[in-house]
Amino acid sequence: MRIALYVIWALFVLATVLSLVHMARRAGRQERRAAEWTRVQATVTGSRAGWTSGADGTTRNRRFFALYRFRDARGRSVTGESEVPLAQRPVPGSGIDVAYDPAAPAESFQVTSGPRTVLGCLIPFFAVFSLVLLWFISVFPLP
């Protein structure tokens, strides 16, 4: 029975590590793009409302995604939509930092430190959680 618990623990740790590696690669890709692409200050023009998933029986919450406009290096007006969810409706006319591809200005995204911050919190949490689970398995009374 204890072997089964260790196998389940190992599968949990493997799934967690793979998820964290995927998140780190995605955050790294986003940071490289932000470093290579042109950064500008965009103006919020409105927002699109959406909902959180409500997964695992949690309450669904309304979220807002900023719609923005900026001018590229040639002076053309380009619009975009942020992928960063906000709890409050963004104020039209306010500014946000945006990075865009100079070769294709329609490809842009809001620059934020969110993924890196989340990753910095999740790694220590899951490391400690995994060690606590391993300890619990070792002291769990089995017949």
Q: Convert the pLDDT of each residue in 4-54 to its tens digit.
A: 999 999 999 999 999 999 999 988 888 888 889 999 999 999 999 988 776
Structural domains counted in the chain? 2
Q: Are 28 and 87 members of one domain?
A: no
Q: Residue 62's domain spans which residues?
A: 38-111
Q: Are strands 62-71 and 77-81 parallel, antiparallel or unpaired?
A: antiparallel
Residues 49 and 103 in one domain: yes
Distance CA 40, CA 108 (A): 10
Global pTM? 0.69
Is 105 in the same domain as 46?
A: yes
Are 25 and 66 members of one domain?
Answer: no
Q: Tell me, yes or no, whether 50 and 4 share the same domain.
A: no
**Does residue 105 sit in the same domain as residue 59?**
yes
